[in-house]
Amino acid sequence: MLKISFKTIILMVVFLPCFLSFSVHAQPVLNYTSIVTGLDWPIQVVNAGDGTSRLFVVEQGGVIKQITGGTVSTFIDLSGVISPAAITANEERGLLSMAFHPDYHVDDMPYFFVYYTTTSGGVTTVRVARYRTMPGNINQGDPSSPDEVISIAKPANQTNHNGGTIKFGPDGMLYIATGDGGGANDPNNLAQNGASLLGKVLRIDINGSTGGTPFYSIPASNPYLVMGDGISDEIWALGLRNPFRWSFDALTGAMWIGDVGQSQREEVNVRQPSPTTGGVNYGWRCYEGTVQPPPGLPICSPLPSDYVAPIYEYTRNSTTGGFCITGGYVYRGSNYSQMYGYYIFADYISGNVWVMSQAGVVTQQTQDRSSVAGFGVDEAGEIYAVSRGGALGAGAVFRIGADIPTPVTLLSFTGRSMDGYSELRWNTATEHMAEKFVIEFSTDGSNYSVAGQVPATNNSLGSSYSFRHAVQGQRKIFYRLQLRDLDGSSRYSSVIVLGSERENEIRIYPTVVRLNKIELTSTTPIERLTVYDPSGKQVYTNMMGGRQGYFAISLPSLARGIYYVTVQGKFSSRTQKIVLH
């Protein structure tokens, strides 16, 4: 089984009637466990919601695979319907999404829906069609049973920005997210054009339809039903560039949309369910994220009055951001309580992954897996990721899990002798379920007494602490920290010595590392330098042999991202977070 681990930090804040309390869930170390490999350009994973626990993987070339208890089979082959026939690494057309009817059952409601493209005469059309399973056979879709629901022609010779996700909402309506039609800067201004169905979220009612044109009806609660307003009745929201992947929160019904940017921002848009959820404008092309306008375009006049800014955005770079957001899911499963309520999303190109709390706190992870084209959930709410891979047969589906890391990551513990007291300081990188820090001292280095204690803040992003210990006279004193957890477990820091020639400091720099080289200085003997990845795995060790002074250390070839460097001295130690470029 292939498992890829990477670290996230999560903070949940709980408000109680009379005071503020911090309830910290386990800070998860997310891991991806491979469940299926050898897929051809997989792009989405869904479940049928029929109690069978099956997963369905949409392959961009037109085939939908079924996963049942680890066995993979073909559910339906629509490769003869979609175009282009040949899918390549950079192709945005093809079979892009599927959704089962919310009342799906093989006997009385055997319907599922697909979202795909066709191209003819230089014109690409995005389409939604309804299919059914074979009578009495839940494991086989019927390719001869299509009913076209809706088709939207794009501008001639434009093949990208096709959107790519259809879903049924908690209200039973079918939601369709379309791209702006393609090309840089939305050349036809379709995302802001209410007469066009491109660059929008559409909301239609397909229930009770018996076929014919149109196949659907317009829900009475859609926001643009005013006759003569120039806005198509199907529109639920507008101003999107390429909302390739989006989802509903299974608990709250909120819509989470990842909208792919052009040159400045990738964005996450969120709308909570309410009577005013529809009828909003996400800004494109007047805005790209919160930046307006994109380079080369004049400022929109007037700016859209119904513009809603993204809840989160990141810049287009390979280190802290990316170039193609893959919208994800809010975790509502039961296997990993520390993930509950957090939105997990990724970037298709950079391979970065983010976790966002319901309060909007976002933490970034860096991992070496790019081409995550979609996320999905099974019937129990557990999350899966689809890696499209870089070639035919290289695609895979991963199940996302989480481990629980060490409750406290101690970055540094230092001190200095003052007139009549010792001043101790320490910093943490992460805290979870920590109770307190007990400061212990000794005059001989063997027998320790308690000098005092400091409660832990349990801040998942780490905290800074200080403590003063009254002392008489100038003498050598040994100090250590006991880190106590709420479960009763404890461990000790390294020992530091004050009041002697060994009252020293270790420095590790720079924090942003290029050419795999770090530097350190120490006036205390150094025994060992160790580098850890975010999951706590040791990836490099250098035995320093008790030397002190200045050192330039060449690290081995490591993947870019976050690491922790720990220098263990004879009388003190220090841990520094670094970022490898």
* Domain edges within the chain: 3-403, 406-503, 505-581
CA pair distance 342, 491, nearest whole angstrom: 30
Residue 172 tokens, joined: 């039973």
Most confident of the ranges 390-399, 511-520, 558-567: 390-399
Q: Give the mean model confidence (pLDDT) for residues 530-554.
A: 84
Domains 406-503 and 505-581 in one fold: yes
Q: For residue 54, is the peptide bond before it cis, meaning its omega torsion is within 30 degrees of 0?
A: no
Q: How far is CA 336 from CA 37, 400, 458, in A?
A: 24, 10, 20
Contact 333, 344 (CB under 8 A): no
Q: With cut-offs at 50, 70 and 90, classify the pLDDT of residue 16.
A: very low
In the chain, what percentage of residues exceed pLDDT 70? 89
Q: In what order do the strands lie in the sheet with 165-168?
A: 165-168, 174-177, 200-204, 235-238, 280-281
In the chain, what percentage of residues exceed pLDDT 90? 56
Contact 562, 532 (CB under 8 A): no
Q: In what order do the strands lie in the sheet with 325-330?
A: 325-330, 343-347, 353-356, 362-365
Cβ neighbours of residue 35 closer than 8 Å, sequence gap 6 or more: 67, 70, 384, 397, 398, 399
Contact 3, 373 (CB under 8 A): no
Cβ neighbours of residue 43 closer than 8 Å, sequence gap 6 or more: 58, 59, 60, 94, 95, 96, 97, 164, 373, 374, 386, 388
| pLDDT of amino acid 415 | 87
Place of tokens 């037109």: 62
For 134-244, strand residue ranges (E) read 141-153, 165-168, 174-177, 200-204, 235-238
| pLDDT of amino acid 30 | 77
Q: With cut-offs at 50, 70 and 90, classify the pLDDT of residue 401.
A: confident
Residue pLDDT, tens place only, 81-130:
999 988 999 999 999 999 999 999 877 789 999 999 999 999 999 999 99
Q: Does domain 505-581 have CATH number 2.60.40.1930?
A: yes
Residue pLDDT, tens place only, 425-476:
998 877 877 889 999 998 877 788 999 999 999 887 788 999 999 987 667 8
CA pair distance 228, 180, nearest whole angstrom: 23
Contact 61, 8 (CB under 8 A): no
| pLDDT of amino acid 22 | 27
Burial readout 509-520 (b: 16 or more C-beta within 10 A, e: otherwise): eeeebeeeebeb
Query: Which of 37, 95, 91 has the alpha carbon at shortest distance from 61?
Result: 95
Q: Give the mean model confidence (pLDDT) for residues 405-423.
A: 79
Q: How far is CA 495 from CA 247, 452, 503, 524, 544, in A?
A: 50, 16, 11, 12, 18
Average pLDDT over the chain reads: 86
Q: With cut-offs at 50, 70 and 90, classify the pLDDT of residue 274.
A: low
Judge whether residue 245 has pLDDT over 60.
Answer: yes
Query: Which of 173, 50, 175, 170 has the alpha carbon at shortest distance from 103?
Result: 50
Residue pLDDT, tens place only, 152-166:
999 999 999 999 999
| pLDDT of amino acid 337 | 75
Q: What share of the chain is helix, strand, coil (3-state, %, to 5)?
A: 0, 50, 50
pTM: 0.69
Task: Name the more confident of 345 and 525.
Answer: 345
Taking residue 501's Cβ as centre, other Cβ atoms within 10 Å add up to: 9
If you classify domain 3-403 with CATH, what class do you get?
mainly beta
Q: With cut-offs at 50, 70 and 90, classify the pLDDT of residue 7.
A: very low
Which architecture characterizes domain 406-503 according to CATH? Sandwich (2.60)
The SS3 of residue 396 is strand
Residue pLDDT, tens place only, 293-325:
888 889 999 999 999 999 999 999 988 899 999
Q: For residue 510, is the peptide bond before it cis, meaning its omega torsion is within 30 degrees of 0?
A: yes
Q: Is the dihedral of CA 230, 232, 233, 237 positive or negative?
A: negative
Q: With cut-offs at 50, 70 and 90, classify the pLDDT of residue 287.
A: very high
Phi, psi of 347 (to 5 degrees): -120, 130
Task: Name the more confident of 417 and 15.
Answer: 417
